Amino acid sequence: MWTLDTVQKVGAVDTAVWHEVLRLMVLARKVDEQIIKLCHQGRIHGSSFTGIGQEAISTAAAIASQPQDLFGPCIRNLALHLGRGETPLGIMRQVLARRDSATGGRDGNIHHGRLENGVYAMISHLGAMISVVAGGVMAKRRQGIDAVGVAFVGDGTTSTGDFHEALNFAAVFDIPILVIIENNHYAYSTPTSGQYRCRRLVDRAAGYGIDGVSADGNNAAEMYVTVNEILTDIRRTPRPVLLEAETMRMRGHGEHDNFKYVPEELLLLYRRRDPINLAVRAMAAAKLMDSEQFAALETSITEEVAAAARQALSEEEPSADTLLQGVYADA
């Protein structure tokens, strides 16, 4: 678990970046935990979907990015939203379908994003957003902006036609887009053995004539260093890259799912590899943070998130009279 390589990567990351990485992962974890609480209290309409255990991946991308970059988050990318400027209050409004959320209650849970943060709101059709991010990056580049894109997908998405179409399209046009496969072992209840036959998903990169990279998705240092290198590189030499981040979904597909189909040993294994715990231990080993400082960080973030939830709960839902508004943009 705790390798020399990790320690070296900790050293390779700037101290300030390390603190930012840890803060963002903890923030995402606490917001997700708050969402779970609200969901089980019956305060959330519909189901809830979290990214617990996968925070390092989104965090790395958010922190390695630049303001002009574009993102296509998927289901388990809360840390990406928060790292690109969405607030805990904004997330609470979104999951509670409040009037002042990013979608104004027109959509729920994870289906949101703010273009002013460079983040596209996903649709549920997996893989459909890769080409949207690619097109957005093409547009920005034509306007002289050196943007790159990052699209997140799961292991299940790699079985879709959209995954193939978009990667091939991006390869043909040398579009600087990093497609991150968060291989979390399960697509809803289907294990990877029922999803594909290749040894590693990243091997598919060869079929598109692009580079493929693997990384430990639970190791924030490795993720940050890897993503930062790729984004720096493709910003300079535009082309798509496929990155497979190996991780584990630590809860059900959504909160309605008891995930009994996941073997307990597997969860146990990944509980020991929790990305936040790994980061805290690494920072302690590198004398960047002690346990007291971490406890203080957790407490302040927990309070911030609880306050955001209280605030959002006190706010209004959209008026039913607005149902017909905004189907079309005004000409």
Partner 1 sequence: MREINYLQGIREGLQHVLEHDPTALLFGQDVGAFGGAFKLTDGLQETFGCERVFDTPICESAMLGCAIGMATQGLHPIVEMQFADFITTALHQLLNNAGTRHYRTGNAVPMVIRAPSGGGSGGGPFHSEELESFFCHMPGVKVVYPAFPSDARALIVSAVADPNPVVYMENKTIYRTVKERVSDELEPVPIGKARVCHEGQDAVVIAYGAMVHEALRAAGELQASDGYEVMVLDLRSLKPYDLDTILAAVAATGRALVVSEGWKTCGFAAEISAAITESAFHLLDAPVRRLTAPDTPIPFSATLENRYRPSAPAIATALRQLIEF
Report if residue 107 touches partner 1, rule: CB under 8 A.
Answer: yes
User: 267: Cβ–Cβ under 8 A, 6 or more apart, which residues?
Assistant: 248, 250
Interacting span for partner 1 (CB under 8 A) from 167-175, 195-203, 250-258, 268-276:
167-175
Cβ 150 to partner 1 shortest distance, Å: 13
CA Rg value for the chain: 19
Cβ 72 to partner 1 shortest distance, Å: 9
Residue 44 or 279 having the CB closest to partner 1 = 44
Residue 191 or 207 having the CB closest to partner 1 = 207
Count residues near partner 1 (CB under 8 A).
Answer: 44
Residue 22 or 187 having the CB closest to partner 1 = 187
Cβ 114 to partner 1 shortest distance, Å: 8
155: tokens are 């292991």
Residue 81 or 185 having the CB closest to partner 1 = 81
Cβ atoms < 10 Å from Cβ of 318: 17
Report if residue 169 touches partner 1, rule: CB under 8 A.
Answer: yes
**In Å, what is the CA distance from 256 to each residue of 36, 188, 259, 326?**
10, 11, 9, 31
Strand partners, 211: 241
Cβ 77 to partner 1 shortest distance, Å: 16
Q: Which of residues 201-260 bind partner 1 (CB under 8 A)?
A: none
Angle between helix axes 220-236 and 15-40 (nearest 10 degrees) is: 110
CA atoms within 13 A on the CB side of 223: 32
Which positions from 59 to 78 touch partner 1 by CB under 8 A, shown as an x/- string?
Answer: -----------x--------
Report if residue 102 touches partner 1, rule: CB under 8 A.
Answer: yes
Cβ 73 to partner 1 shortest distance, Å: 13
Cβ 197 to partner 1 shortest distance, Å: 23
Q: Which long-range contacts (CB under 8 A, 24 or more apart) does 316-323 make?
A: 316/98, 316/99, 317/96, 317/97, 317/98, 317/99, 317/105, 318/97, 318/98, 318/99, 318/104, 318/105, 318/106, 319/99, 322/104
Strand partners, 216: 246
Q: Measuring CA to CA, which residue among 198, 166, 201, 169 is closest to residue 182? A: 201
Q: In whole angstroms, what is the distance from residue 260 CA to residue 268 CA?
A: 14
Interacting span for partner 1 (CB under 8 A) from 31-39, 96-104, 222-230, 243-251:
96-104
Q: Which of residues 256-285 bind partner 1 (CB under 8 A)?
A: none
Which residue from 260, 316, 320, 328 is in contact with partner 1, where contact means CB under 8 A? 328
Which positions from 112 to 141 touch partner 1 by CB under 8 A, shown as an x/- string?
Answer: xxxx----xx-xxx--xxxxxxxxxxxxx-
Under 8 Å between Cβ of 244 and 28: no
Q: Which residues bind partner 1 (CB under 8 A)?
A: 70, 102-104, 106-107, 111-115, 120-121, 123-125, 128-140, 142-143, 161-162, 165-166, 168-169, 172, 326-331
